[in-house]
Amino acid sequence: MKAKIIPIGTPNMSGQALVPETGGAVPAPVPKGSRARTLSVDEAAHTELLFSLFQKHLLGTRANAKRTVTVAMGAIHGFARYVGLPPWMWTEIDLSEFLAHKVSEDDIGLGRQATYITYLRGFQNYILDSVGLKNDIHRRFGVQPQRFVTQENAVAIKRKRHERKEATRPLTAQQCDGLIKTFDQQILLAEQAGSKSFHPLRRDKVMMMLMLLTGIRVEELVTISINDFMPDASHPQFGNYALLSVLGKGRKWRVVRLCNPIIMELMDWYTREVRPGFLRVDTDDPQLLFFSERGSRLCTEQVRRMLRDIGALAGIPFRVKPHLLRHTYATQLGKIIGYEALQRQLGHEHLSTTLSTYYHQDPEHVGNEIEQGIVQSYQGDRTPDQRVHR
């Protein structure tokens, strides 16, 4: 008799595109871990119970924001789907294999690895700290859950992140210019070939420029509403886009002031010519600024992959990530508005975070050069029509 495979977890919450373009039924993800096996009905049911209890713990006892809980459960479900074992059998080897797989297949960086470790450790501690849950697992399945996120594997990632973070430097004006020109070239080629990538490329260019012009986080970018922009009567040259209201970390709102009038021309064109092409009849939130090709909200992984790919095409010798654009924005703007104002723009709770991350005593290729690079690339010798219709 053929064994019945019980899929672990809920539908896509991990940023992976599981639904095929052609539609139809979604196939159950196949576990890839070296120890993966078919779960019994009892194992699958108890796994789902633990997931449900932990989710309620995050929402209730911990009072985490719904978005945070969604990300946390997505990380846990993604790990469970890969390992193909119930949580009480997860080990350090499974975690190492999973992270290696994510680096190899999805090119995740140290920040994403740390995110997985944080949420998996929270789930692990929730079980291990509960005598009742541990005893119930032992009574039902004859095993005691073990610690799979340890001091050793967690600290190793944290140490590497710290070392990598110290080496971060902003993009130069020439590199910003190269990114925008590369987008223009790819958009033109797609238009000439009649490629379906034409509209997504135009959307992606606007997303990249908005990150360079505002310094917002990628998690903030994908949740922006078209109504989050506001005018400022004292700065009419920005039109309706002088201020941007952003929901940041800890569900705290902040207002980001735009500093480059290019934003008005860019956003007027995008909302008029590009954005309507992504709206669908069944779009859940028609007020979003950016949509996927299916008319749904973009996931952060899509934005990360887009920046990685365009950076490689532009010949930039290191990976372009959302945080690099934020870093570039902050480094050039801090020299103009000062670091206390920059702290408010970035949404940092402590000024020390701003100073330790973005202050360079000998800032090569920073300051106004970055903004000049954006302006020159975006304007140059082009007519207004050419500037925006690439």
107 and 203 fall within a common domain: no
pLDDT at 19 over 50: no
Average per-residue pLDDT in the chain?
82
Active site residue 339: no
Q: How far apart are the first and last CA of the chain?
A: 59
Beta strands 243-247 and 229-230 are antiparallel
Could you give the CA distance from residue 133 to residue 130 in angstroms, rounded to a whole number?
A: 5
Q: Which CATH number belongs to the domain containing residue 295 in this structure?
A: 1.10.443.10
Residue 20: inside a domain: no
Distance CA 100, CA 103 (A): 5
pLDDT tens for residues 241-256? Answer: 999 999 888 778 888 8
Cα(117)–Cα(78) distance, rounded to whole angstroms?
Answer: 12
Half-sphere exposure of 354 (CA within 13 A, CB side): 22
326 tagged catalytic: yes
Give domain status of residue 16, yes or no. no
Catalytic residue (choose from 199, 323, 327, 390): 323
Flag whether 158 is in a domain. Answer: yes
Q: Residue 36 falls within a domain, yes or no? A: no
Which one of 147, 164, 181 terminates a domain?
164
Same domain, 160 and 172: no
Q: Which domain holds residue 307?
A: 168-388
| Whole-number pLDDT of residue 329 | 86
Q: Are residues 60 and 190 in the same domain?
A: no
Active site residue 62: no
203, 348, 365, 390: the catalytic one is 348
Under 8 Å CB-to-CB from 287, ≥6 apart: which residues? 225, 226, 227
pLDDT over 80 (residue 17)? no
**Domain assignment of residue 29, yes or no:** no
Is residue 323 part of the annotated active site? The answer reads yes
Please tell me whether residues 268 and 306 are part of one structural domain: yes
User: pLDDT, tens digit, for every residue of 330-377?
Assistant: 888 877 777 777 777 887 766 666 565 665 544 344 344 445 545 555
294 is catalytic: no
pTM flag (> 0.75): no
Instruction: Verify that 209 and 102 share a domain, yes or no.
Output: no
Q: 12, 45, 29, 124: which is closest to 84 by C-alpha? A: 29
Q: What percent of the chain has a predicted confidence (pLDDT) above 90?
A: 54
